[in-house]
């Protein structure tokens, strides 16, 4: 990690950049995969799975018995941990339900808004270097609360067994997801986007993935499918004061770095002495990590900023707009009052980002790559549509009608005016 000692604001733009990853070269091959799945359906899915995953699929869908049996393949401790996480995520997302409030905007004119669960949603759960069963909870729990009628889940098969990791299946079963498919990569996104003989088409796609999955979601969006949010590699920014323990700060940085080589971690502190202490601790802890090769590549793309002025720290953080923001500070809440751009914030010395990744209750599917400036993380709102209603009485139409007639005529939309005038005449 390179240390930048009190850089000027003119130097900030370069220090706000994420590791660049050009995805344009993937558009053509991903587009070919998606077109093939759209045309050939299950046949294409089997071909791509054999080519990319080294597995010959007999059954694309996981049967109910396999899903049920997955629980027995997990330790009691892991099952209990997943249940705890599910309970907390459910509790937090239930608070996001909105009450229907009818408002009379003028006498006899009543308006309100109601939510409806999106009928069909697709969840992509990466396998890759680690099975992200926690993401199943983060997506399937709010989908269930929202009342989505059909939830489709795709996750890549294991190269050795051809099966999905039992923890993914167990989490799915806890959340009531029964349509689970042994599919990964761009072909899984295509299957959910267009539908095949086995996989139902959905209306909105959720979930992280590698560069191929990211491009596939972008292309699906161009075809009219909704997605959760734009996504880049995962990231964390830690703001630490003098009271933060270097070992804790280093562990937080490495917890993000071990996601993958393109993850970025940033540390903001007030003194160069603290910067050097944390850097040394990062190097010490990194040596003992099982995923140190991946984490080391991430750390090489990461940086430490020494910014003595609290206002400079705040302004830099808002400009960076981190996916995860850890404020390891004595007065974390006071500092956080000035935060306007972040995906999820972790306050104080005892709140590592890991708790949000797994079990605190907040959602870990968050905007990356600076998208926190204009996107929120996944929530209950992500799984619903909001429909407005209005109802007028005769008195209400009399009251509002003349204004509507006047505006419609001014816009030269006579039929709009007529729809009101004819009713008023009948009254």
| Residue numbering of the annotated binding site | 124, 187, 210, 234, 256, 259, 324, 357, 411, 416
- Interatomic CA distance for residues 347 and 159, integer angstroms: 40
Cα 14 to chain center, whole Å?
26
DSSP β-bridge partners for residue 236: 265, 324
**CA-based radius of gyration for the chain:** 25
Residue numbers in the known binding site for NAD(+) are 124, 187, 210
Is 323 part of the annotated catalytic residue set?
A: yes
- Interatomic CA distance for residues 124 and 193, integer angstroms: 12
Give the three-state DSSP class for 237: strand
Closest CA to 245 of 353, 356, 349, 351: 349
- Interatomic CA distance for residues 17 and 235, integer angstroms: 12
Owner of token pair 């990690």:
1
Residue 267 — φ and ψ, nearest 5°? Answer: -120, 135
- Interatomic CA distance for residues 197 and 191, integer angstroms: 9
User: Which among 93, 165, 248, 324 is annotated as catalytic?
Assistant: 324
User: Which among 258, 281, 323, 405 is annotated as catalytic?
Assistant: 323
Helix, strand, coil % over all residues of the chain, rounded to 5: 50, 15, 35
- Interatomic CA distance for residues 61 and 153, integer angstroms: 10
- Interatomic CA distance for residues 281 and 295, integer angstroms: 14
**Contact of 329 with 243, CB cutoff 8 Å:** yes
Structure token digits, residue 259: 């996601």
Cα 140 to chain center, whole Å?
12
Q: Calculate ∠ Cα 151-154-156, nearest 5°.
A: 165
Structure token digits, residue 304: 């430490």
Is 364 part of the annotated catalytic residue set?
A: no
Cα 406 to chain center, whole Å?
46
Residue numbers in the known binding site for Zn(2+) are 256, 259, 357, 416
Residues annotated as catalytic (active site), given as ranges: 323-324
């Amino acid at each position: 990690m390179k240390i930048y000692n009190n850089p000027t604001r003119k130097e900030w733009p370069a220090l706000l950049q994420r590791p660049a990853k050009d995805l344009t070269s993937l558009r053509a091959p991903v587009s070919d995969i998606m077109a093939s799945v759209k045309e050939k359906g299950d046949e294409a899915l089997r071909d791509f799975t054999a080519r990319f995953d080294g597995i010959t699929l007999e059954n694309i869908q996981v049967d109910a018995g396999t899903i049920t049996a997955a629980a027995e393949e997990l330790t009691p401790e892991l099952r209990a941990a997943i249940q705890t996480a599910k309970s907390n995520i459910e509790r937090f997302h239930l608070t996001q339900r909105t009450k229907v409030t009818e408002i009379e905007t003028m006498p006899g004119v009543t308006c309100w808004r109601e939510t409806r669960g999106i009928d069909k949603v697709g969840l992509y759960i990466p396998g890759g270097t680690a099975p992200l069963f926690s993401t199943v909870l983060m997506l399937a729990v709010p989908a269930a609360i929202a009342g989505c009628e059909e939830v489709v889940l795709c996750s890549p098969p294991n190269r050795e067994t051809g099966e999905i990791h039992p923890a993914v299946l167990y989490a799915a079963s806890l959340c009531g997801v029964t349509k689970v498919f042994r599919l990964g990569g761009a072909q899984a996104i295509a299957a959910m986007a267009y539908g095949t003989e086995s996989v139902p088409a959905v209306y909105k796609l959720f979930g992280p993935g590698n560069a191929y999955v990211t491009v596939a979601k972008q292309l699906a969006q161009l075809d009219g499918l909704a997605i959760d949010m734009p996504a880049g590699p995962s990231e964390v920014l830690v703001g630490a004061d003098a009271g933060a323990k270097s070992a804790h700060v280093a562990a937080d940085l490495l917890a993000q770095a071990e996601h993958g080589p393109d993850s970025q971690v940033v540390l903001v502190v007030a003194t160069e002495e603290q910067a050097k202490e944390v850097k040394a601790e990062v190097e010490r802890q990194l040596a003992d990590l099982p995923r140190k090769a991946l984490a080391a590549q991430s750390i090489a793309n990461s940086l430490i900023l020494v910014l003595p002025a609290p206002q400079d720290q705040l302004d830099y953080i808002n400009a960076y707009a981190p996916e995860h923001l850890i404020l390891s500070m004595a007065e974390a809440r006071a500092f956080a009052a000035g935060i306007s751009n972040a995906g999820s914030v972790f306050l104080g010395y005892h709140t590592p980002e890991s708790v949000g990744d797994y079990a605190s209750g907040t959602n870990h599917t968050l905007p990356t790559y600076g998208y926190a400036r204009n996107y929120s993380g996944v929530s209950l709102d992500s799984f619903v549509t909001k429909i407005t209603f209005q109802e007028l009485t005769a008195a209400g139409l009399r009251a509002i009608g003349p204004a509507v007639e006047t505006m419609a005529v001014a816009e030269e939309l006579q039929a709009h005016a007529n729809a009101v005038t004819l009713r008023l005449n009948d009254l």
